[in-house]
Amino acid sequence: MNVDLTAPQSKRESDPPVVARPGLALSAIPTKREMPSRATPVSEVAFEVSDLCCWFGQHQAVYDLSLRIPAKAVTAIIGPSGCGKSTFLRCLNRMHELVRGSRLSGQIRLFGEDIYGPRVDATLVRRRVGMVFQKSNPFPTMSVGDNVTVGLRLNGVRDRRVREEWMERALRMAALWDEVKDHLDRPGTSLSGGQQQRLCIARALAVQPEVLLMDEPASALDPIATTKIEELIQELKRDYTIVIVTHNMQQAARCSDYTAFFYLGRLVEYDKTEKVFTNPSNKQTEDYVTGRFG
Amino acid sequence: MNTSATYQTWRKAKNLIMSALSLACAVAVIAPLGLILFYLIKAGAGAIDWHFLTQLPKPVGETGGGMSNAIVGTLTLLALASILGVPVGVLGGVYLSEYGGERTNWWIRFGADVLNGVPSIVWGIVAYALVVVPMKGFSTYAGGVALGLMMIPLIIRTTEEVLLLVPNGYREAALALGISRWKIIVRIVMKTALKGIVTGVLLAAGRVAGETAPLLFTAFGNRFWTHHLRDPIAALPLQIFTYAISPYDDWHRQAWAGALVLILVIFLINIGVRTLTRGRFSEVAK
C-alpha cells in the first residue's frame, strides 16, 4: 500500500475526532499576555510545511521541503549527520532564526496558523512547541521542582499551587514522579543522566505545549534509560504531537508512526514507519535503513 | 630510541634544569608578597591599636591619633564607586555576551582593554574635569566617580567572560520554554554565573581600593570626618601617602600601619573571592 503522506489525515479516519487544543486543555492557566490563538485545529495536521528552505549564511541546509506532520502521532526524522534534520526541527519552533546569519523561506503552519507570520511572536510559538535537546540540560542553579516549574514561573504563573499541581502532573507524565517526589528540592543536576533527560521532558511539558520536538533525546543515554524514554514517547503521543530526530534507526522503527528520511537537505521519503523500514520506495532510503550507508 | 648512557644523563640533567628554573620563577612570584607582608607586619603591626582604628588624626606635632576617618573614607569611596561601576560594568558585560554584534563587540572589548591600561592618574584627571570643576571643589563624589570609572572596564570584561562560560544549552532550553529574552538573561544566565560576576566585582573593588593617584585631586583627603558627600574625604592610600612623605617618625609609623590595614582589606576581599569561586556551578543557590 502506498500511503500519500502529503495528506496523512485522510488515512487516519479511524482516529478519534479532533479535540480543541491537543495536549491538555489548560486554558484556565492565567498568563500575562494573550497566547496566540489556540483555536480548534482545522484538521489532524499539526505542522504543514511548504517549500521550506534554510540557510546558514551562504550555506543552504534544507531544500524545498514540504510535508505534513500529523497531530497526536510520533513522526521520526532520520538521515545521516548534516542532512538538515536538526535544522528542520529547529525551524518548527523558530529556534533556527537564533543562529547568527541564518535565514529561511517557505511557510510553516501549526494547526493552520502561519508561525512565521508577520505578527506572530516567536516566544509565544515556542510556548506551544516545546523542545527536548540531545544533551540534557537542567538548570544548574535550580532544584528538581524548580526546574519543572521554571517555564510557568517565568511566564507569569504567579499562583504557587497551580505551579505545584503542574509540576506533579508534568513529572508524572515524564514518568519521573515516583523517583523524585521525595527530594524535589535537591539540585536538578544531582539526578542520573536518564533522569535528567526525563526532567527536561517534564520541564517542557509543564508549560503545556501542543507539540514536543525531540532532538536525539536518547543518544547520550544507556539502553535502559533509552527504553524508558521510548516508553514515555508512546505514552505522550496520546496527548501530544511528537517530532523526534534520531540517528538510531531501530529507535525510529520502534517508536514512531511516521518516518521522514532526509538526505543532503532534501526530503527523500516520508511515509508510515512500517512502510519506510520494510518496503521503502526510494533506493537511497533502502540503502540507509538497511545500513548500507550513513 | 637513543638509550646510550650519556644521552640519558643529559636528558635527566635537562629535566632537572627546567624544573629548577620553573621553581625559581614560582618563588620569584611568591617572594615579593612574602616580603611585603613581612615588612608591613614588622613595621606596621606595632602601630595598629584601638586608637589607630577609632581616632581621627592628631594635629601636627602631637603623637598618637588614628586613621578611622580614612578607613571609613575608603569604604565610602568603594561604595560610591560600586554604585557607579557595578551596574554599568555588569550590564555592559551582559551586552557583550548576550546581545552585541561581532563588530560592535570588537570595538567595546578593544575600548575596555585600552581603558584597563590607562594610568590611574588619568582617571583622576577625567573625574576632576567631570566632577570637581563643575562642582567647584574636591568631593567624595569626585573620588567615587574616579574609582567607579576605573571599575567599569574591569567588570565589563570579567562579567562577559563568566557569562560566556554559561553553556548555550541553558539559553536554548529556556528559549524553547517560551521564556522572554531578558528573563532568561536575568533569571537563568546571570543566576548561573552569579558567583563569577560577584568575583569580578570584588576583584575590581580590590583593585581600585588601593588606588592613590585618582584620589589626589578628586577625593583630596580630609583630616576630619566627612559629613557630606560634597566634601573632600580621607582615604587610606591618600593618608598613607601624606604620612609617608612627612618628616615625623610617628606619622611614618602610622603610614606603615595604614598600609597594613589596606593590605588586610584587599586580602579579605581576595579571600572572599576564593571562597565564592570554590565549587562554582556545582552547588545549588536555593
Say if residue A4's pLDDT is above 70: no
Question: Tens digits of per-residue pLDDT, A176-196?
Answer: 999 999 989 999 999 998 899
- Kindly indicate the confidence band of residue A225, based on its pLDDT and cuts at 50, 70 and 90: confident
Q: CA-CA distances (angstroms) from residue A8 to A75, A76, B28?
A: 11, 14, 75
* pLDDT tens, residue by residue, A275-291: 999 998 888 899 998 88
Of B178, B179, B192, which has the smallest distance from its Cβ to A141's Cβ?
A: B192
Tell me, what's the pLDDT at B279? 55
| Closest chain B residue by Cα to residue A188 | B284
| pTM, two decimal places | 0.79
Q: How far is A262 from chain B (nearest CA, A)?
A: 24
- Of B175, B188, B194, which is closest to A95 when you measure between CB atoms? B175
CB contacts of A150 in chain B (<8 Å) are 174, 177, 179, 188
Residue A19 has pLDDT above 90, yes or no: no
* pLDDT per position as a tens digit, A233-269: 998 988 899 999 998 888 999 999 999 999 999 999 9
Q: Do A150 and B177 touch (CB under 8 A)?
A: yes
Checking if the pLDDT of B65 tops 70, the result is: yes
Whether residue B86 is predicted with pLDDT greater than 50 in this model: the reply is yes
The residue of A33, A115, A127, A141 whose CB has the most chain B CBs within 10 angstroms, and thus the best one to mutate to test that interface, is A141
- Give the angle A11-A17-A22 at the CA atoms, nearest 5°: 100
In this prediction, residue A233 carries a pLDDT of 92
Q: What is the SS3 assignment for chain A?
A: CCCCCCCHHHHCCCCCCCCCCCCCCCCCCCCCCCCCCCCCCCCCEEEEEEEEEEEECCEEEEEEEEEEEECCCEEEEECCCCCCHHHHHHHHCCCHHHCCCEEEEEEEEECCEECCCCCCCHHHHHHHEEEECCCCCCCCCCEHHHHHHHHHHHCCCCCHHHHHHHHHHHHHHCCCHHHHHHHCCCEHHHCCHHHHHHHHHHHHHHCCCCEEEEECCCCCCCHHHHHHHHHHHHHHCCCCEEEEECCCHHHHHHHCCEEEEEECCEEEEEEEHHHHHHCCCCHHHHHHHCCCCC
CA of residue B181 relative to chain centroid, distance: 31
Please check the confidence at residue A42 and state whether its pLDDT lies above 80: no
**What distance in Å separates residue A142's CA from the closest CA in chain B?**
6
Structural domains present in chain A: 8-136+205-289 (3.40.50.300)
> At the fourth CATH level, which superfamily is domain B71-277?
MetI-like (1.10.3720.10)
Q: Among residues of chain B, what percentage have pLDDT more than 70?
A: 97
Query: Chains A and B: how many Cβ contacts under 8 Å?
Result: 84
Mutation target among A94, A134, A154 for the B interface, most CBs of B within 10 A: A154
Minimal Cβ distance to B169: which of A95, A100, A137: A137
B188 vs A contacts (CB less than 8 Å): 139, 141, 150
How far apart, in whole angstroms, are the C-alpha atoms of residue A267 and residue A5? 12
B283 near A CB under 8 A: yes
Distance CA B165, CA B194 (A): 12
Q: Is B176 exposed, middle or buried (0-12, 13-18, 19+ CB in 10 A)?
A: buried
Average pLDDT over residues B29-34: 90
Residue B1 pLDDT > 70: no
Chain A residue with minimum CA distance to B286: A142
Within 8 A by CB and 6+ apart from B137, the residues are B230, B232
Is the predicted pLDDT of residue B109 greater than 70, yes or no?
Answer: yes
Summary mean pLDDT of chain A:
83
Q: Are A75 and A257 in contact (CB under 8 A)?
A: yes
Query: Domains of chain B: which residue ranges?
Result: 71-277
Smallest Cβ distance to A141: which of B169, B176, B191?
Answer: B191
Assess B173–A contact: CB distance below 8 Å, yes or no.
Answer: yes
DSSP code for B45: G
Is residue A23 scored above 90 in pLDDT? no
B 253-282 residues inside an 8 A Cβ radius of A: 281
**Rg over CA atoms, chain B:** 24
User: To which H or E segment does residue B284 belong?
Assistant: none
Task: Tell me if B177 and A127 make a contact (CB, 8 A cut-off).
Answer: yes
Q: How near does any CA of chain A get to the CA of B286, in Å?
A: 7
Q: Is the pLDDT of residue A38 over 80?
A: no
- What pLDDT digit, counting tens, does each position of A142-158 carry? 999 999 999 999 988 88
Chain B residue numbers touching A133 (CB-CB < 8 A): 169, 172-173, 176
How many percent of chain A have pLDDT more than 90?
A: 57
Q: Which residue has the higher pLDDT, A42 or B81?
A: B81
- Judged against a pLDDT cut of 70, whether residue A30 lies above it is answered with no
Residues facing A271 on adjacent strands: A259
Cα–Cα distances (Å) from B158 to B8, B97, B112, B187, in that order, read 46, 11, 11, 19
Q: How confident is the model at residue A294 (pLDDT cuts 50, 70, 90)?
A: low
Nearest CA in chain A to B192: A141
Average pLDDT over residues B5-11: 88
Region B156-161: mean pLDDT is: 95
Q: In sequence order, what are the beta bridge partners of A65? A: A52
**pLDDT over 90 at B82, yes or no:** yes
